[in-house]
Structure 1
Amino acid sequence: MVKLFVAVTDRNWFDFLATSGPEEVNFWAPSGRTSFRALLPGELFLFKLHAPANFIVGCGVFSHASNLPLSLAWEAFGQKNGVRSFDEMCERIAHYRKEGAADVRRSNPPIGCRILTAPSFWPRDLWIPAPSDWAQNTVVGKGYDTSDGEGAKLLGAVAERMALSRAEQELPINRYGTPVLVKPRLGQGAFRVLVTDAYGRKCAVSGERTLPILDAAHIRPYSDGGPHEGSNGLLLRTDIHKLFDLGYVTVDQDSKFVVSGRLKADFDNGRHYYDLHGAQVQPPVLASASPSSDALRWHRENRFRG
């Protein structure tokens, strides 16, 4: 059974993103106190404007949900949060939380992030009227089963509109008209959040938990053909990430952390890193994000300085 979720959407968020055509967006909520579990990755997330504009105006493919500190959500997605600047984002969140923008900036609160790929923003003549069973007092949104009733009608209407857009191939429906799950194609921001959460927000090598200094590292760089996928990522402390990218450290076939002798030779330093040599690289808590053996082999053969 494939589901979709119709989410109450801020008009300013929609209008801003409709002009830029991003490959991914962060549909955020001002509070990060609850977890979003209405969809599985690959299901559809629909945008419905606040009343009185009772229309569904676009959609995206759900990728991942997380509660992130405001600053990290901005670092990961920037203007793909639907705002021009971090200051504007603080002001928007302050409006919903009924706080001052300066207080929001200072407290750096967790916000709810629903990360969507292949977003589609429709022109006015393609907007879909809200479902007949939509309650006007709905605050967050409502889920639908696409096998029958209003859910099936919505999926059909969305399919017609997505067929006109670049996101057609992302639609969770096969050529026989049967809803199916598709694998979301992650962007850089989604990759960062997925890897961060997959490792329980802890460096796979050092165990560091200070979130602002943890990076989602590509094992095989995106510029060298590596995908934005969990299996091509490691969560590393910022300094270890830098050394990994430069080839001074790697991961061997037994998942052990290896430090190159070149680190000492080139910089006459590195004792703290040699102390980690031979440490077991911790696996992610999310099994689907386990590092690809092919990607790690590529790093050893093409990046590691030996």
Structure 2
Amino acid sequence: MRLFVGVTDDQWFHFLAGQPACEEVNFWRPSGVGFQALGEGELFLFKLHAPHHFIVGGGFFTRALQVPLSLAWDAFGPANGVPDLGAMRRRIAKYRRQTPEALGNPPITCLMLAEPFFLPREEWIPVPASFKSNIVTGKGYDTREGEGRELFETVKERLQVRVPDGPRPATLAAAATPRYGAPRIVTPRLGQGTFRALVTEAYGRRCAVTGEKTLPVLEAAHVQPYASGGPHEVSNGLLLRSDLHRLYDQGYVTVDPDDRRLLVSPRIREEFQNGRHYYALEGQALAAPQRGFAPVTRERLLYHAEQVYRA
């Protein structure tokens, strides 16, 4: 298992540390650059800017995406570490040495972290000796030996005394690692913001039914409703135009679980004396997600067709 110590803005950390029941955070970078230092479920730790050479918290890495600023805000809101979109624009403009007015809607890198934790001041961890003061973005470590192992053991001790708030499988697995045993990588529990960002990217920022690509009207829909046990996973998500999303959630449309084509309920006509536009979409094939993303499972589609759809 690898871990990564990323340098973060003090304001970002303190704002999020003060939020109650934070289930996910977006550790964003102001430009669209790649990140391949970690795999899903590995530890990402927060290190404050100099002169504070301490590790102050962390989370479990899910995925890195380059998305427009507007999508990052719509998906994560205050979990971006700022109170509002205006503050986020000003922060990015400062780092990019632009004015907020000239910023537009730039791509930023989103390192999406699940099950975050924030340490109180008395539990801050000094950075390893190899983490030099001139490191700007961060440094990776191998937890099998040396400083990486020592750092993991220290973080594990901090997690063992903190009772998880809600289901946190990756946190529990890390805390339960035997001393000098190999850390077990467990897929973290994703939050709503990560779900939205991943589903949006999975379908190439296009409605999976109509192909609509106007981003402000596209929404990530749960196939099996979250309230009915459906998880925040790409394999339980579809990117739909907002009107189709509402109809889907209310059971007026569904997707045949076998041929994956749209079904439109006759109830639209019966209840609203309308719906010509939607009946024109009857039989439309569902788009497949992009390579690297899991398609919706037949199990989830069947649940929606049998439990939600108004035939």
TM-score band, normalised by the shorter chain?
over 0.9
Contact 1:70 1:109 in 2 (8 A): yes
Contact 2:177 2:184 in 1 (8 A): no
Contact 2:207 2:241 in 1 (8 A): yes
Q: CA deviation at 1:170?
A: 2.1
Label 1:69 to 1:166 Cα distance change in 2 as closer, same or farther (>3 A). farther
Contact 1:78 1:85 in 2 (8 A): yes
Relative to the length of structure 2, the TM-score reads 0.92
Task: Tell me, in whole angstroms, the C-alpha distance in 2 between the residues paired with 1:164 and 1:19.
Answer: 19
Task: Tell me, in whole angstroms, the C-alpha distance in 2 between the residues paired with 1:204 and 1:99.
Answer: 36
Identity between Structure 1 and Structure 2 (%)? 53
Which amino acid is the alignment partner of residue 195 of structure 2? Answer: F
Q: CA deviation at 1:46?
A: 0.4
Contact 2:169 2:188 in 1 (8 A): no
Which amino acid is the alignment partner of residue 68 of structure 1? Answer: V
Q: Secondary structure at the match of 1:75?
A: helix
CA offsets, 1:224-271, max 9 Å, x none? Answer: 222212221111111211111121110112211111122222223322
Contact 1:44 1:60 in 2 (8 A): yes
**Is the counterpart of residue 125 in structure 1 residue 86 in structure 2?**
no
Which amino acid is the alignment partner of residue 11 of structure 2? Answer: N
Label 1:241 to 1:295 Cα distance change in 2 as closer, same or farther (>3 A). same
CA offsets, 1:100-137, max 9 Å, x none? Answer: 12323xx0111111111111110111111111111222
Task: Tell me, in whole angstroms, the C-alpha distance in 1 between the residues paired with 2:121 and 2:245.
Answer: 45
Give matches, 1:175-194, under 5 Å. Answer: 175-176=177-178, 177-194=181-198
Label 1:287 to 1:96 Cα distance change in 2 as closer, same or farther (>3 A). closer
Contact 2:205 2:213 in 1 (8 A): yes
Contact 1:120 1:165 in 2 (8 A): no
Tell me the equivalent position of 1:91. Answer: 90
Q: Secondary structure at the match of 1:190?
A: helix
Tell me the equivalent position of 1:199. Answer: 203
Which amino acid is the alignment partner of residue 126 of structure 2? Answer: P
**Is the counterpart of residue 292 in structure 1 residue 292 in structure 2?**
no
2:224 aligned residue (220, 225, 229): 220
Task: Tell me, in whole angstroms, the C-alpha distance in 1 between the residues paired with 2:150 and 2:247.
Answer: 52
Which amino acid is the alignment partner of residue 238 of structure 2? Answer: L
Tell me the equivalent position of 2:260. Answer: 255
Instruction: Give the RMSD, CA atoms, in angstroms.
Output: 1.7
Task: Tell me, in whole angstroms, the C-alpha distance in 1 between the residues paired with 2:292 and 2:71.
Answer: 24
Q: Between 294-303 and 281-290, report the one with greater CA deviation.
A: 281-290
Q: CA deviation at 1:79?
A: 0.9
Q: CA deviation at 1:219?
A: 0.9
The alignment of Structure 1 onto Structure 2 pairs a total of residues equal to 302
Q: Secondary structure at the match of 1:247?
A: coil
Task: Tell me, in whole angstroms, the C-alpha distance in 1 between the residues paired with 2:177 and 2:151.
Answer: 17
Tell me the equivalent position of 1:266. Answer: 271
CA offsets, 1:56-113, max 9 Å, x none? Answer: 1101011121112112111111111111111111111111111112323xx0111111
Task: Tell me, in whole angstroms, the C-alpha distance in 2 between the residues paired with 1:202 and 1:179.
Answer: 38
Q: CA deviation at 1:169?
A: 4.5
Q: Secondary structure at the match of 2:91?
A: helix
Which amino acid is the alignment partner of residue 11 of structure 1? Answer: D
Gaps of 5+ in 1: none
